[in-house]
């Protein structure tokens, strides 16, 4: 073999050795298919804080749903005595004016449904501040009548329902009406210590009801000032444009069906107050 042939075969052998060595290095250090790249690894830790941040507001939402102490304190009610004795005092609505018979008025229906020993005192044309008569000269305001009733020691109510405000609208003096309402409630509590008072505000079939907004607001404010539960027939819409034609007796008073409707609404409110 010549010298040139030795050189050629030696070069080929050297190339083969180098190629074989590179292949061996590749086989001994393969990349696993599931190994994350550097960019993917950087995104994984960031995902955890993001998930925690979205769950953080949960306690705040729970706290918001809980009623505040002040809102709870404003929900007034009454605790029924072991032996209830009831007095219902009011105006012509309590007297049942407009019904076919007096005992079909709302107060009589309510008294019959509750079944408590009850006295009903309804005097047409009177109110918390209006004493009756076209000139407010009869002196039969609710407070005056309560004092007269208290003179009889044989009747001692522990529950009192004061209904009215329709006639007080003649005053056109909300401040006086509010004060009279509060004073009437406080007088009742002095006359019969422990008596629980509920106020039923003014109501009437439409369109008369539309004239009672100011009086209703004043009576409600007076009841609230005395911390007495107030049943708001006006705001609750006991009489509407739709039902008034069937419940109206004379443009000012309900008929028998209207009083039955009033009694049903009152009993619903009473059930809530006594829960």
158-203 residue pLDDT tens = 999 999 999 999 999 999 999 999 999 999 999 999 999 999 999 9
Rounded Cα distance between 244 and 237, Å, is 11
Domain at 264, CATH number: 3.40.50.1110
| Whole-number pLDDT of residue 92 | 98
- Which structural domain range is residue 163 located in? 86-273
Q: Are 125 and 167 in contact (CB under 8 A)?
A: yes
SS3 content of the chain, % helix, strand, coil (to 5): 55, 10, 35
171 assigned to some structural domain: yes
242 assigned to some structural domain: yes
Element (H, E) at 74: none
52 assigned to some structural domain: no
211 assigned to some structural domain: yes
57 assigned to some structural domain: no
Rounded Cα distance between 181 and 143, Å, is 9
146 assigned to some structural domain: yes
Number of domains making up the chain:
1
Element (H, E) at 103: none
Confidence class for position 75, pLDDT limits 50, 70, 90: low
Query: Among 55-59, 144-148, 155-159, 208-212, which is the least confidently predicted range?
Result: 55-59
Helix residue ranges per DSSP H, 56-197: 58-65, 69-73, 92-95, 106-114, 142-150, 174-191
Per-residue pLDDT reduced to its tens digit, 195-247: 999 999 999 999 999 999 999 999 999 999 999 999 999 999 999 999 999 99
The answer, yes or no, to whether residue 260 has pLDDT greater than 90, is yes
228 assigned to some structural domain: yes
Counting DSSP H helices and E strands in the chain, the numbers are 12, 5
221 assigned to some structural domain: yes
């Amino acid at each position: 073999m010549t010298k040139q042939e030795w050189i050629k075969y030696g070069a080929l052998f050297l190339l083969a050795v180098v190629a074989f060595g590179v292949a061996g290095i590749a086989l001994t250090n393969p990349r696993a298919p599931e190994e994350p790249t550097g960019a993917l690894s950087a995104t994984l830790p960031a995902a955890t804080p993001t998930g925690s941040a979205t769950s953080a507001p949960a306690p705040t939402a729970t706290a918001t749903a809980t009623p505040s102490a002040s809102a709870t304190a404003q929900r007034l009610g009454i605790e029924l005595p072991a032996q209830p004795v009831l007095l219902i005092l009011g105006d012509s609505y309590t007297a049942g004016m407009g019904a076919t018979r007096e005992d079909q008025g709302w107060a009589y229906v309510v008294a019959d449904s509750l079944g408590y020993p009850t006295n009903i005192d309804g005097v047409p044309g009177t109110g918390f501040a209006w004493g009756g008569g076209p000139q407010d000269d009869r002196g039969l305001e609710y407070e005056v009548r309560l004092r007269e009733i208290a003179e009889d020691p044989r009747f001692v109510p522990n529950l009192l329902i004061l209904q009215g405000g329709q006639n007080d609208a003649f005053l056109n003096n909300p401040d006086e009406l509010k004060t009279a309402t509060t004073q009437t409630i406080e007088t009742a509590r002095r006359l019969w210590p422990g008596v629980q008072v509920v106020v039923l505000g003014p109501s009437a079939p439409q369109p008369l009801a539309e004239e009672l907004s100011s009086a209703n607001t004043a009576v409600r404010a007076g009841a609230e000032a005395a911390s007495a539960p107030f049943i708001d027939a006006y705001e609750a819409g006991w009489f509407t444009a739709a039902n008034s034609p069937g419940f109206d007796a004379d443009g000012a008073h309900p008929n028998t069906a209207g009083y039955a409707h009033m009694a049903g609404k009152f009993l619903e409110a009473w059930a809530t107050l006594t829960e």
